[in-house]
Amino acid sequence: MSSPMLDVRALNKVYAGRGDPVEAIADLSFQVSDGELVCVVGPSGAGKTTLLRCLAGLLPATSGDVALAGEPVTGPPQGMAVVLQEYGRSLFPWMTVAQNVELPLKEKGVARGERSRLVGEALEAVGLADVGRSYPWQLSGGMQQRVAIARAAAYEPQVLLMDEPFAAVDAQTRFELEDLVRALWKGLGVTVVFVTHDIDEAIYLGERVLVLSARPTVLLEDVRVDLGAERDQLETRGAPEFARLRTHVYELVQQAKLGVRSLADARLTHAG
């Protein structure tokens, strides 16, 4: 059997700075198959960003392992792209939109002609074909986040990691960007891990939703989302199965906030 795209085994992360050590991740194990779109939800401060940074090789695990396509992740691997919440800080203001998208391709060593083709296609895919020569600060927040997504897509990563990428855009734009992520995911066949605190967003986007406990985090439940391949903002969100999943995940997150750390406890609390 081939290895999963992402394999997380007994991951533990303790921040040991000055002052008391902070255990962010207690013990996480899960796998993500090639081409899956998995969302991660959990209470604020649970350790979601910490998890993403460990997956991305930006933060060393205290113990346990992360592997990408069977290879241990010890630093930022070639095949990964990351989109963060703060697009304002992730784009270089002195570079045009096209130059921003092109930069990682240069670093990857892609030839000039191929670079311009990839940049053109990515900007086209996010609906920004006509602003390549603009500067990021000339664009709205939603457009800047589109540029960040185009940059990740142009890179043609095996795995795309996203940390609350739409937290700072308005609701309407957010819906559009969600559909953009689904479209890119299908088009590129990329594996996506998408962190969000928005339960509806996690269910709308994901094929699975990993629900994390409060810090130090463990996996409360790996929820399968059977909403089909074609999602529609009105129809999907109006479906009975969507409502059922939302109630279920909402209850899990509430339990997590109350300090529940296992499903067995959750049932006890629920019954009592």
Ligand X SMILES: Nc1ncnc2c1ncn2[C@@H]1O[C@H](COP(=O)(O)OP(=O)(O)OP(=O)(O)O)[C@@H](O)[C@H]1O
18 near ligand X, rule: CB under 6 A:
no
197 near ligand X, rule: CB under 6 A:
yes
Q: Which does 197 bind (CB under 5 to 8 A by kind): Mg ion, ligand X, none?
A: ligand X
Name which of residues 37 to 56 contact Mg ion (CB under 5 A): 48-49
Please identify which residue in 3, 14, 15, 69 interacts with ligand X, judged by CB under 6 A.
Answer: 15
197 near Mg ion, rule: CB under 5 A:
no
How many Å apart are CA 45 and CA 256, to the nearest integer? Answer: 11
Query: How far apart are the two ends of the chain, measured CA to CA in Å?
Result: 44
Alpha carbon separation from 183 to 155, 178, 188, 231, 238 (Å, rounded): 16, 9, 8, 10, 20
**Helices 263-271/240-257 angle, 10° precision:** 90
Smaller CB separation from Mg ion, 45 or 259: 45
Name which of residues 46 to 65 contact ligand X (CB under 6 A): 46-50
Least Å distance, CB 16 to ligand X, is 8
Alpha carbon separation from 106 to 34, 110, 127 (Å, rounded): 26, 6, 23
Contact pattern from residue 234 through residue 263 relative to Mg ion, giving x for each residue in contact according to CB under 5 A and a dash for the rest:
------------------------------
Q: Which does 17 bind (CB under 5 to 8 A by kind): Mg ion, ligand X, none?
A: ligand X
Alpha carbon separation from 173 to 139, 140, 149, 151, 170 (Å, rounded): 14, 11, 14, 18, 5
17 near ligand X, rule: CB under 6 A:
yes
CB atoms near residue 260 (< 10 Å): 20
Contact set with Mg ion (CB under 5 A): 48-49
Contact set with ligand X (CB under 6 A): 15, 17, 22, 24, 42, 44-50, 197, 215
